[in-house]
Amino acid sequence: MSRSREAAAAPLFAALGDENRLRIVTRLATQGRGNLTALLAAAPVTRQAISQHLGVLEAVGLVRSEKVGRERLWELEPKRLADAHAYLDRVSTQWDDAIARLRAFVEDA
């Protein structure tokens, strides 16, 4: 895997590495877009903390928001999740290949 792909994936996985941000992403993935009040139910933290977590998720492209009337609605950015999925698939394939090589080496020994 190239260093540039790893460098691009690192902030994404760092953002998902926080339990509260992961809960927010899970909530958006399962229930669709929502406002700040709805997202408060996803993670047991303050309103200010949810706003900060959303800022981190937005900075790495995992969520986007839209102003509707007086509130801001947040939703998942499916392209960025697809990037994470593709990265994990590549890593999984590399591990599968390494295990197959190890198995062949052990069986030939």
**Beta carbons within 8 Å of 82's beta carbon, 6+ residues apart:** none
Give the model's pLDDT for residue 61: 94
Average pLDDT over residues 8-23: 91
1 pLDDT above the threshold of 70: no
Distance of CA 23 to the CA centre of its chain: 10
d(CA 107, CA 8): 38
Residues in Cβ contact with 31 at an 8 Å cutoff, skipping those fewer than 6 apart: 38
Q: How confident is the model at residue 2 (pLDDT cuts 50, 70, 90)?
A: low
Is residue 84 pLDDT above 60, yes or no?
yes
Q: Model-level pTM?
A: 0.80
Residue 87: Cβ within 10 Å count:
18
Q: Measure CA 10 to chain center.
A: 11
d(Cα 21, Cα 25) in Å, to the nearest integer? 6
Q: Using CA atoms, how far apart are residues 13 and 19, in angstroms rounded to an integer?
A: 12
pLDDT of res. 77: 94
Q: Tell me the pLDDT tens digit for each residue of 33-70.
A: 999 999 998 888 999 999 999 999 999 999 999 999 99
Domains of the chain as residue ranges with CATH? 3-108 (1.10.10.10)
